[in-house]
Structure 1
Amino acid sequence: MNKKASVLLAALMCAAAANAADKACLLEGSLKIGKQVTEIKDCMQNGGVKTEQFLETCKGIAKMGAAMGAPPKITYLDACPASPQGVCDGMFGQPVQSYYYKRDPKDLADTKASCLAQGGKWKS
């Protein structure tokens, strides 16, 4: 590959990553609450929040996770992965969908209850 093509490819990849940043953020890692360690794989998908606010929310959630274990890995995507265990749509009245992937049955039930209590709509 020649130098111009390499530079163009790198620029396109950066642009694609920047474009994906305002659409979805996948958070993966371990949280420690007391003596219990919980693996998480959650994703938040933007349904109309301003990009800056969405990115700050993703980073804020990661910081909270860091306080309860290791900071979760954040991956920005065009959309959250398929086949979640559940989705909370519109929590706190915001146009955001939260996708949950690695929840045990009790945690999933608690997550659903929290979603509904905060004004969201739950989809299994």
Structure 2
Amino acid sequence: MSGRGNSTTEPTNGVKMLGMDRNTGKLLSGTDHIRQSIVDILTTPLGTRVMLPEYGSKLFDLVDNPTDPSLAMRIIMESAGAIARWEPRVRIDRINVLAVDIGKITILIIATDIETQQRLEFNNMELIF
């Protein structure tokens, strides 16, 4: 269980809907819902979720660190660990840090959908803090 509390409903057309777009309110499913979930996990600072303080990641603490050779590796390690813990629908295959700016990290995530074994590529995923 991911701990996000999203419920699954079965609309009349038989398509399983898993959530709602946090910006538009439209229904989300599949890869779009996974992408939104990953962004939510990575941009939620640890200790800020009421009743689930261990949810999220430490990326907030890394985003404004001085850029040095170890920063990208720390971002990759923290991202992989948080996703592995909180997003059970995917297995991470690769994470690349594309850019680190003031208040923003841009990454590439390549993962496998556990249910379908489909390769998922989330390119230019912007994490804004």
TM-score, normalised to structure 1, is: 0.31
Tell which has more relative contact order, 1 or 2 (C-alpha 8 A, sep 6+).
1
TM-score, normalised to structure 2, is: 0.30
